[in-house]
A and B are shown apart, each in its own frame.
Chain A
Amino acid sequence: GAVVSQHPSRVICKSGTSVKIECRSLDFQATTMFWYRQFPKQSLMLMATSNEGSKATYEQGVEKDKFLINHASLTLSTLTVTSAHPEDSSFYICSARVLGQGSNEQFFGPGTRLTVL
């Protein structure tokens, strides 16, 4: 199946700093990538939908100035958490949708655990 990678897998940062998380589709082109946030023992919460070459669409309640998303190519999307605070600590998961397949299946990355001190 299609493979989605995320980097880093874990990151610890100080409050007030910015953190960038990369999401790559390794063996397919993805016109659309999704960013999710997951708190412990909870479901995935969609933060934004990212289309290659255009601005991301954010879900209600998600601060676009805090969570900057860039989808510069068909294989790479980045999520930057700006001026991170402890409440931003969470598990962030990206997903990429395969271009051209009828079912438009989404493949998920392994996630990034962010800890803000």
Chain B
Amino acid sequence: AQTVTQSQPEMSVQEAETVTLSCTYDTSESDYYLFWYKQPPSRQMILVIRQEAYKQQNATENRFSVNFQKAAKSFSLKISDSQLGDAAMYFCAYRKGYSTLTFGKGTMLLVSP
């Protein structure tokens, strides 16, 4: 079974600084999707960024980028120029094809002024 591990229960960053959230996963598949979701205090799950495993290029969405290392099964999220609104729980997730999402346990990101 696939597993997703987020080893950082909590991370802190100051406004305008950069922070990296870690995620590793275990799979025997070669083609799959990886996601980072954000869950702010409102509890609404928001897709931050998506990476297809067959693409070597790291996905980027404005201030959010990933470092996808397929051989190492690592998928970290970098948030640049952190803002107060970035404070949330961040979940890394894996999905193979049409199957269900497998979530990590989450990393709480605290942003201080």
Contacts and interface: CB of A to CB of B under 8 A. Distances in A.
A103 B32 CA distance: 10
A75 interface: no
Contacts, number: 42
A69 to B, nearest CB: 14
Given A43-B105, A103-B50, A110 B44 contact: yes
A44 B108 CA distance: 14
Given A93-B45, A110-B42, A110-B43, A104 B104 contact: no
Interface of B: 33, 37, 42-47, 50, 52, 89, 91, 95, 97-98, 100-101, 103-106, 108
Interface of A: 34, 38, 41-44, 46, 49, 91, 93, 95, 103-108, 110-111
